[in-house]
Amino acid sequence: MRIRLEKIIARLRSIRRQVIIVRWALGLLIFLSLIFFILNWAWLTSRLGKGFLALGICFFGAFILGLVALGWWFKRTYLDIERTALLCEKKFPILGDGLISLVQLAKSYFSGSVDFSLVLFERHLEQIEEKLGQVRLEEIISPKRLLIPGMVFTLLFLLWAGLLFFSTGFLESIKTSLLLSGLNFAKAVDSIRVSKPLVLYDFVIEYNYPEYSGIESKRVEGGDGSLSGLVGSEVRIQAHSPVALDKAWVKISSGEKINANISGNQISVRIILDKTAQYRIEAEDKDGELWLESDYHQMNIILDNVPIVELIFPDQDQVVSLEDKIKIKFQAKDDFGLEAIALVFTTKGKEKRIQIKEFSPWVMESQDEYEWDLSVYNFIAGEMVAYYLEAKDNNNVSGPGIGKSQTRYLEIYSPLKNHEKIIAEEQELFDALISFLGRSIVSDLTKTSLVQFWQEEGELIKGLEGIRDRLWGLKPKLESDPYSTALVKEALAQQSERYRNLLTQRRNSHRSQNQKGTIGLRANTIEVLERDIIFWDRELNQQRMEFLAELGERLKRGEQELSRLIEEYQRTQDPSLLSEIEERLEELKLVYQEFLERMGEMSQTLADEFINLDALKQTASGDVYGSLERFRQSVHDRDMGNALKNAEDFLEGLRAMLSELEEGSEAMGNSIPSELLSQLDEQLEVLKELVKEQGGLIGRTEPIYQNWLKQAEKTHLNFEKEIESLRKELNALEDNLRSRVEEFRPIQPSSKADADELKSFYQERSSLERGLWDLLRELEQTKKLVEQNQLEGALDSLDKISEQLAEMDNRLENFFKNSNQTQTEKQSFEQGIGSCQKQTEGLKRGFNDLIRAKEGFGGGAFLQELNKLALEQQMLKGRLIQLQGELEALFEQFPVYPKRVPEDLNKAEVKMKEAEDELRRGNSELGLINEKEAKHWLEQAEADINQFKDKLKQRGKRMPAPVAMPIGGGRPGGFGKEGSFGFRDEEFKLPGKEANREPVEMRKKILKAMKEGSPKEYEELNRDYYKRLVQ
């Protein structure tokens, strides 16, 4: 019931608000219409030349009465809830008096003092709700009531605006009236004095223009007496009067009077044109009669416009270095002549001017360029320099007129300021990660339809694309930033790759409509987001602290330079040093103000464990700043006694502040949780043990290899002699086979052979001849194998040759039956083939003996030792595989990890496997080589982990720079958000030595708890927390 009542009361309040607005707007329109009516009245009175005093009195009287009436109207038309209810009942009779009674009873109900039946009250409420549903309470007031007053007001306002811009003398009439310029006795008498009309004729007007304009004098005869000329022109008016006059004067609409000369019937007067107005000539005859011109003459001035100067180039703001030269192109023009053009710029809160061009008289237009050498003006890195061009004309009467071009800005490049922008972008990335984490967690998959699920997944993919794009956009900026640490650069590179892979996987899963896989990818994404958020939270705090520390370094350098100057002054008493001291003080003040401003911001953004409440209480309270100001003032006043005393106080306080800051910077933790780093140290010890044991294995393999090498040196000559002997035998076999080829070619068939026998003969001869050539080719291959020291291959090749020779020997008997060879020739050829067979068998025996000798080299004890070493290598490889798995699981918890370590360990594993295989084969040489390569990759992995730990300790590079380097984004004149200096005067905190001991332990507990699962009863609470976090 309460909610239903509140809805009705809220509806009545809305109606009340509309009624009050319309009524008050009506009264305000009537009041403003009256004011503009009186102002428009000035036009009529000015045309009549009187009424100024009456208009002013009338205006102020009407204004006061109007304000009183307006206040009375506001009070009378104000409504409360009860009167609003009565107004509704009056408009809609269907409501009766039920609405007002409901409102009155509701007051008692809301206050808790109910002395009526709630059942009857609820029934009454239902009746009123039903009636209210039948009417539109919003019709109780209509904005149409404002139509006619609004039209009147608009008409009067437009009339006033038109008269203001187009009617000559209207503005002066209003000023005169409203300032009550006619409120004196003499003018009051003049205003009631009876006058006669004065009609003048034969007007002659002579213009003498200012000399700077270069315009010649001009004479105008005739006309109606209107004047028009350049400001500062001298005008001589001559006219004739039909009556004899005793004295005459010119009355200007602004109230001024200029006496005229009378010569007979001729009136002459000189006027300096200085403003647009109206004038008329008034006179008095010898009888004291007043003569007035009936109409005012126009007196218009031609303004000397200010010069127009345009900055053509640069056409936009620029980021420049301290040594740059800026080419400035410009054009300027003026209606009567340019005098000079200057470049105006603001640096360190002071405006400076460079005269870049001067002109001879009456140069109306110019286009030129100027080279601005920035190195001459001692700008400060990080400073924002505003500049524009200023053109001055040659007006020496009412001027000179000065025209200004558009303002451009030069940002003097500062690596530190650029680093601040990067930190701001990293903060945006951090906020985007938190927002996306919230969106990823809010979805309740158990209550989501399949269509809605894939729609949400599409939106999440778009959000993930935004994260990826932010990372890609930030990466090149970090690479070129000298203040960003190697750790942050590596983290960003790995995060870019990680989110790219996640995005690819989720797109593929979305295309294939794999809901189960998508749910798993969402969970994986959430884990990655939580890990990266923790990393950026800590890293941003560190970078802000380092940023402040860099400003502290600048203060320190400035303090050292200032101390040097003060010592030099005390030694030499050289007055010229005072201006340099004063300049250094000004620069130091800028940096100190920037330091305080940044400290004030950091006290709101840094977590409490990074801040020491009492570290700079004295600094924050203004003692150091006060000493600085007193020091500056004493130097400025050349009161060197007080200056040196204040300098000592300031430098002492500044050194104490910087000491606290350095201690706070050293107390900062790393971006990687300490628990993870402890686990990494444990795995590093395991890796070191593996390196040590792999070295021990190499130490045991090396002597075995050396012994083998000594034996090999002893037997090397015997092997070479045997191989050389076998080469000669191979050559002899080749010569023998070629001789058989030569003997075989002339063999022809027998003359007694028939056709079939002839055919069989030629086929057999062709086959045998190919066989001989195949033997030669195989023998050539055998020789190559011998050259390559592949004895086993050569022996296999000789086996093939032996088999082919035996087959050929069996075929020769049948072949010679149908040949024309004699018995002696047949026996000679067969004996040749037989000798080839014997040579081949001899070669086979020789190679067999050589191979057996080589295989028997080292003996069984040698092979047994190598097998033991192979077994040790196998065990080390197993431990390495276990280490790889543990490191992989550990690195999954790191936001950034040494990426090359897994690659190094994989290579070490491969080399261990190859070493094991070679040792089992009895090859101590290759086994030793692979053992050493495995140790190299293990050592490389150890070095990569140590380098990664060094990156965690290493912070941003500090670069030498000028003392004063404002960092904020304000325009010249200040370095804050609004371009003004200022610092926080409340207490703020800096890190101290003991600032983060207990909080670090507490963080370890939090991180440990985060790794454990949440109880089921807390899952809903966690989900609500993340919702609030992102909202």
Q: For 79-105, what is the mean pLDDT? A: 78
Q: Contact 594/968 with Cβ under 8 angstroms?
A: yes
Q: Exposed, middle or buried by CB within 10 Å (0-12, 13-18, 19+), for 38?
A: buried
Contact assessment for residue 206 and residue 235, using Cβ atoms and an 8 Å cutoff: yes
Question: Which residue do the tokens 């055998």 mark?
Answer: 782
Q: List pLDDT tens digits, range 346-401.
A: 887 788 999 999 998 888 899 999 999 988 887 877 788 999 999 999 888 877 88
Residue at 297: amino acid letter: H
> H-helix or E-strand containing 344?
strand 325-347
Quick one: three-class SS letters along 467-495? HHHHHHHHHHHHHCCCCCCHHHHHHHHHH
How does DSSP assign 405-463, residue by residue? ---EEEEE--HHHHHHHHHHHHHHHHHHHHHHHHHHHH--GGG--HHHHHHHHHHHHHH
Q: What is the pLDDT of residues 614-630, one digit of tens each?
A: 444 444 445 566 666 67
Q: What are 417-468's pLDDT values in tens digits?
A: 788 888 888 889 888 988 888 888 765 566 678 888 888 888 899 999 999 9
Residues with Cβ < 8 Å from 128, sequence gap 6 or more?
A: 8, 95, 98, 99, 102
* CA–CA distances in Å: residue 616 to residues 382, 592, 593, 605: 26, 14, 15, 17
Name residue 732's amino acid.
A
Helix, strand, coil shares of the chain, percent, nearest 5, are 65, 15, 20
Tell me how far apart the terminal alpha carbons of the chain are, to the nearest angstrom: 31
Residue with tokens 């002339």: 746
Share of the chain above pLDDT 70, in %: 75
The per-residue pLDDT for 194 is 60
Q: What is the DSSP string of 663-729?
A: HHHHT---SS-HHHHHHHHHHHHHHHHHHHHHHHHHHHHHHHHHHHHHHHHHHHHHHHHHHHHHHHH
C-beta neighbour count of 864 within 10 angstroms: 9
CB within 8 A of 512, min separation 6: which ones?
Answer: none
Least confident residue range of 203-212, 686-695, 784-793, 984-993 = 984-993
Model confidence at 671, in pLDDT bands (50, 70, 90)?
A: low
Chain centroid to CA 971: how far? 19
Task: Report residue 553 as tokens.
Answer: 């370094």
Residues 694 and 879 sit within 8 Å (Cβ to Cβ): no
pLDDT grade, residue 985 (50/70/90)? very low
Nearest CA-CA partner of 960 in 424, 374, 381, 375? 381
Q: What number of CA atoms fall less than 13 Å from residue 584's CA on the CB side?
A: 21
Q: Which of 133-142, 210-219, 373-382, 1014-1023 has the lowest mean pLDDT?
A: 1014-1023
List, as one string, the DSSP characters of 178-192: HTTTT-SHHHHHHHH
On whether the CB atoms of residues 327 and 350 are closer than 8 A, the answer is no
* Whether 323 contacts 250, CB under 8 Å: no
Per mean pLDDT, which range of 200-209, 652-661, 956-965 is the poorest?
956-965
pLDDT tens for each residue of 481-513: 887 888 888 888 888 998 999 999 999 999 998
The least confident of 4-18, 578-592, 756-770 is 578-592
Residue whose entry in the numeric block shows the structure tokens 């029934």 = 123
Distance CA 787, CA 69 (A): 124
| Higher-confidence position of 580 and 220 | 220
The tokens of 946 are what?
A: 């140590």
**Angstrom distance (rounded) from CA 82 to CA 99:** 9
Tell me the C-alpha to C-alpha distance, in Å, between residue 1012 and each of 459, 788, 1008, 1015.
30, 64, 7, 9
Classify strands 234-240 and 201-208 as parallel, antiparallel or unpaired: antiparallel
**Residue 390, amino acid:** E
Percentage of the chain exceeding pLDDT 90: 14
The mean pLDDT value of the chain amounts to 76
CA 288 – CA 196 distance, rounded (Å): 11
Distance of CA 437 to the CA centre of its chain: 22
Nearest alpha-carbon partner for 277 in 256, 259, 252, 314? 252
Which tokens is 824 given? 């002696």
Q: In whole angstroms, give the CA distance from residue 359 to residue 426.
A: 53
- Helices and strands of the chain, counted as H and E runs: 25, 18
Q: What is the pLDDT of residue 53?
A: 53
Q: What angle do CA 538, 540, 543 make, to 5 degrees?
A: 110
Smallest Cα–Cα separation from 774: which of 818, 817, 740?
740
Write the Ramachandran bin of 442: left for phi over 0, alpha for psi from -120 to 50, otherwise beta: alpha
Q: What's the pLDDT score for residue 639?
A: 65
Residue 1016, token pair as written in the block: 């089921």
What is the C-alpha to C-alpha distance for residues 695 and 776, in angstroms, rounded to an integer?
52
> By mean pLDDT, which of 164-178, 210-224, 638-652 is the weakest?
164-178
Counting beta carbons within 10 angstroms of the beta carbon of residue 573, is it exposed (0 to 12), middle (13 to 18) or buried (19 or more)? Answer: exposed
What value does the mean pLDDT take over residues 785-810? 82
Do 140 and 11 form a contact (C-beta atoms < 8 A)? no
The pLDDT, as a whole number, for residue 988 is: 36
3-state secondary structure of 90: helix
- Is residue 996's pLDDT more than 50? no
What is the pLDDT, as a whole number, of residue 1002?
A: 44
Residue 258 phi, psi (nearest 5) = -125, 120
- Cis-peptide, bond into residue 314, ω within 30° of zero: yes
Give me the residue label for tokens 């006033």. Answer: 160
Residue 158's identity, in one-letter code, is L
Continuous H helices in 78-184: 81-91, 98-111, 118-132, 147-166, 170-178
Of 778, 777, 783, 693, the closest CA to residue 730 belongs to 783
Question: Residue 971: which pLDDT band, with cuts at 50, 70 and 90?
Answer: very low
Q: Which residues, at least 6 apart from 160, have a Cβ–Cβ distance to it below 8 Å? A: 36, 39, 40
Q: What is the DSSP string of 500-566?
A: HHHHHHHHHHHHTT-HHHHHHHHHHHHHHHHHHHHHHHHHHHHHHHHHHHHHHHHHHHHHHHHHHHH
Q: Which helix (H) or strand (E) holds 385?
A: strand 384-393
Structure tokens at 937: 């990759």
Nearest to 623 by CA among 642, 650, 600: 650
pLDDT, tens only, 677-701 = 888 889 899 999 999 999 999 999 8
pLDDT tens track for 27-57: 787 877 777 776 666 555 544 444 455 556 6
How far, in Å, CA of 926 to CA of 665, rounded? 53
Strand partners, 717: none
Task: List the single range of 211-220, 792-801, 1013-1022 with lowest mean pLDDT.
Answer: 1013-1022
Query: Contact 140/87 with Cβ under 8 angstroms?
Result: yes
Angle at 336 between CA 331 and CA 341, to 5 degrees: 35
Average pLDDT over residues 833-842: 84
Tokens, residue 35: 């004011």
Exposure pattern of 581-604 as b/e (b: 16+ CB <10 Å)?
beebbebbbbbbbbbbbbbbebbe
Question: Cα(460)–Cα(443) distance, rounded to whole angstroms?
Answer: 11
Model pLDDT, residue 205: 92
| SS3 readout for 224-272 | CCCEEEECCCEEEEEEECCCCCCEEEEEECCCCEEEEEEECCEEEEEEE
For residues 221 and 206, what is the distance between their CA atoms, to the nearest angstrom? 9
